[in-house]
Amino acid sequence: MRGLPPRPGDRVLTDPNPLRDVRDRRLPDIPGPCSLVIFGVTGDLATKKLMPAVYDLANRGLLPPGFALVGFARRDWADQDFAQIVHDAVKLHARTEFREEVWQTLSEGIRFVAGDFGDASAFDRLAQVVTDLDRVRGTRGNHAFYLSIPPRFFGDVVQQLKRSGLSATDSGSWRRVVVEKPFGHDLASARVLNRQLDEVFEPSSIFRIDHYLGKETVQNLLALRFANTMFEPIWNANYVDHVQITMAEDIGIGSRAGYYDGIGAARDVMQNHLMQLLALCAMEEPLSFQSRDVRIEKEKVLAGICLPKDLHRHTANGQYAAGWQGGEYVGGYLDEEGIPPDSTTDTFAAVRLEIDTRRWAGVPFYLRTGKRLARRVTELAVMFKRAPHLPFAATDTAELGQNALVVRIQPDEGVTMRFGSKIPGTEMEVRDVNMDFAYGDAFTESSPEAYERLLLDVLRGDPPLFPRHEEVELAWMVLDPVLAAWAEDGRPEQYSAGGWGPSCAAEMIARDGRVWRRP
Ligand code: BG6
């Protein structure tokens, strides 16, 4: 993360202030020689995100010369077959242009190991492959194992890594494991998963991916709050009325029935992405952006979350029904292929939370997410209290709403400030206007994909953007009671595809005298 102290090998400039570390920004911060071993290379994530991100990093000159990519899956492939799969994935999904010379160099380090997650001989073969890579590609014993596989296999794979000696390091080398959510389906299962990982890897070698933390706009929340003077003084209960965090998707579950059914919106994205956004929005200033300091502050927020007493009135869930979306009539969740007709899985989730700290006392945080909503948008909106006194005639301010600061996380990345302004003319009439910062206008560089950033951080051993197991467990402590309340309610309310979710969500926020934003 920017602002981190230099690592061994960084070129350091002398700074007059000895307490401030300075890295020469003209030099790219490239990891040392290493390999990335991906389990589950036939999955969607590997094809659409991981392999393209590896190529994009190579194309940006951010991978070391001694780099290798190893695939592990139950396929009867040779190295060249896997290289072809990577090639096709890169051509289809990479962010940066395809350059033959970059691809040639990358493909020389591509290997494949065929096997099952429980098959000891396959892991022995993998051990042999990485040893060969150390010799041939100079990867020097540094290997990251990316488990892009269902969590029920985590235990088997890490045990096999241990048995085959793949998790063991010798002097100066490293071994890391990268895991993808869901980190369990409740607190108890998350604890089991964490124990399985802890038995084999040191906490500092475990990287839990929350790809929202790799998004530029999410990281910018930290810059916005802690690099400026004008926001922080009003970032508290004295000025903030409430906060709305929305992650709306227009897509349905596509071909992910097997993953999604029984998981649902709250477990899929609220437990991780939305809780992390909440933590970054609400936390105190960390001592530094080192992993430990950021984690301490995020954990304080998560530990301070209070759920409403009546969960049935202050949370809402729903499931999409058929409807019109973007000019197309789309089926409902129960019509999706692979979904049982009596599924009670929620595809929409909303909760009202408070944070029991001096800064946030009495300020509700409303979190909502859903599939098949009106449009794809993720934003964090800080809604301010009204001015304590308005020296205008009531009619003059009839069109004045609440001041708002909206961090537009995607797709239209930027920040909007909404405030009242006089309408030109002879009368004193005030109406809401927007002041916009758009990434596309302000910067010429396009933002890297979240996975580029996160993979690079794994290989560099840079952990601030990865949640620790304490955070994961605290987030489950918040969600477990909500999920239990929904299980009692039975079938979630159906909402039409293409709208803004079930009516119970609108009623939930209306009980507090507020409305959801229509981004
Ligand atoms: C994933 C969820 O974590 O995030 C998906 O599993 C969701 O269900 C996706 O669609 C959304 O990611 P993004 O980056 O497109 O907002």
Going by alpha carbons, the residue nearest to atom 4 of ligand 1 is: 269
Q: Are residues 122 and 236 in the same domain?
A: no
Question: Contact at 8 Å (CB) between 381 and 371?
Answer: no
389 tagged catalytic = no
What does residue 186 show for φ and ψ, rounded to 5 degrees? -165, -175
Q: Are residues 387 and 477 in the same domain?
A: yes
Q: Are residues 169 and 255 in the same domain?
A: no
Domain for residue 195, yes or no?
no
Closest CA to 241 of 362, 417, 353, 354: 362
Centroid of ligand 1 to alpha carbon of 478 (angstroms): 21
Domain for residue 518, yes or no?
no
Q: Are residues 47 and 113 in the same domain?
A: yes
Measured CA to CA, the distance from residue 434 to residue 427 in angstroms comes to 21
Q: Are residues 142 and 244 in the same domain?
A: no
Centroid of ligand 1 to alpha carbon of 89 (angstroms): 19
Domain for residue 8, yes or no?
no
Residue 406: alpha-carbon gap to chain centroid:
18
Strands 206-209 and 110-114: unpaired
Question: 378 pairs with which residues across the strands?
Answer: 247, 410
Centroid of ligand 1 to alpha carbon of 131 (angstroms): 36
What does residue 60 show for φ and ψ, rounded to 5 degrees? -85, 5
Index of the ligand 1 atom closest to the CA of residue 260? 8
Pocket test for ligand 1, best of 210, 261, 269, 270 (most atoms within 8 A of CB): 269
Measured CA to CA, the distance from residue 493 to residue 489 in angstroms comes to 10
Question: Contact at 8 Å (CB) between 314 and 511?
Answer: yes
Going by alpha carbons, the residue nearest to atom 1 of ligand 1 is: 269
Residues with CB under 6 A from ligand 1: 249, 268-269, 378
Buried/exposed code over 93-109 (b: 16+ C-beta within 10 A; e: otherwise): bbbbeeeeebbeebbeb
The neighbour count for residue 241, using CB atoms within 10 Å, is 17
Q: Are residues 404 and 260 in the same domain?
A: yes
Q: Are residues 304 and 443 in the same domain?
A: yes
**Domain C-terminal end among 158, 180, 202:** 180
Domain for residue 245, yes or no?
yes
Domain of residue 506: give its range. Answer: 213-448+468-510
What count of Cα atoms within 13 Å lies in the side-chain half-sphere of residue 68?
27
pLDDT of residue 170: 85
Dihedral angle sign, alpha carbons of residues 150, 152, 156, 159? positive
pLDDT of residue 128: 98
Q: Are residues 419 and 313 in the same domain?
A: yes
Question: Contact at 8 Å (CB) between 30 and 10?
Answer: no
Measured CA to CA, the distance from residue 288 to residue 280 in angstroms comes to 14
Going by alpha carbons, the residue nearest to atom 3 of ligand 1 is: 269
pLDDT of residue 13: 46
Centroid of ligand 1 to alpha carbon of 338 (angstroms): 20
Q: Are residues 89 and 140 in the same domain?
A: yes
Spot the catalytic one: 185, 211, 273, 314.
273
Question: 365 pairs with which residues across the strands?
Answer: 243, 353
Domain for residue 409, yes or no?
yes
Question: 490 pairs with which residues across the strands?
Answer: none
Measured CA to CA, the distance from residue 343 to residue 469 in angstroms comes to 30
Index of the ligand 1 atom closest to the CA of residue 247? 16
Closest CA to 341 of 450, 431, 438, 261: 261
Strands 365-370 and 323-325: unpaired
Tokens representing 426 are: 């002879």
- In the DSSP assignment, the letter for residue 285 is P
Closest CA to 195 of 168, 243, 159: 159
Q: Are residues 248 and 160 in the same domain?
A: no
Cα end-to-end distance, the chain, whole Å: 30
Pocket test for ligand 1, best of 249, 270, 271, 347 (most atoms within 8 A of CB): 249
Which residues neighbour 228 within 8 Å (Cβ) at sequence distance 6 or greater?
Answer: none
Domain for residue 482, yes or no?
yes
* pLDDT by position in tens, the chain (length 519): 444 555 554 544 444 454 455 666 767 789 999 999 999 999 989 999 999 999 999 999 999 999 999 999 999 999 999 999 999 999 999 999 999 999 999 999 999 999 999 999 999 999 999 999 999 999 999 999 999 998 889 999 999 999 999 999 988 899 999 999 889 999 999 999 999 999 999 999 999 999 999 999 999 999 999 999 999 999 999 999 999 999 999 999 998 999 999 999 999 999 999 999 999 999 999 999 999 999 999 999 999 999 999 999 999 999 999 999 989 999 999 999 999 999 999 999 999 999 999 999 999 999 999 999 999 999 999 999 999 999 999 889 999 999 999 999 999 999 999 999 999 998 899 999 999 999 999 998 888 999 999 999 999 998 888 999 999 999 999 999 999 999 998 899 999 999 999 999 999 999 999 999 998
Domain for residue 461, yes or no?
no
* CATH for 124: 3.40.50.720
**Domain C-terminal end among 124, 158, 180:** 180
* CATH for 375: 3.30.360.10
Q: Is 288 helix (H, G, I), strand (E, B) or coil?
A: coil
Number of domains observed in the structure of the chain: 2
Q: Are residues 286 and 144 in the same domain?
A: no
Q: Are residues 130 and 251 in the same domain?
A: no
Domain for residue 29, yes or no?
no
Index of the ligand 1 atom closest to the CA of residue 212? 14
Index of the ligand 1 atom closest to the CA of residue 251? 10
Centroid of ligand 1 to alpha carbon of 371 (angstroms): 10
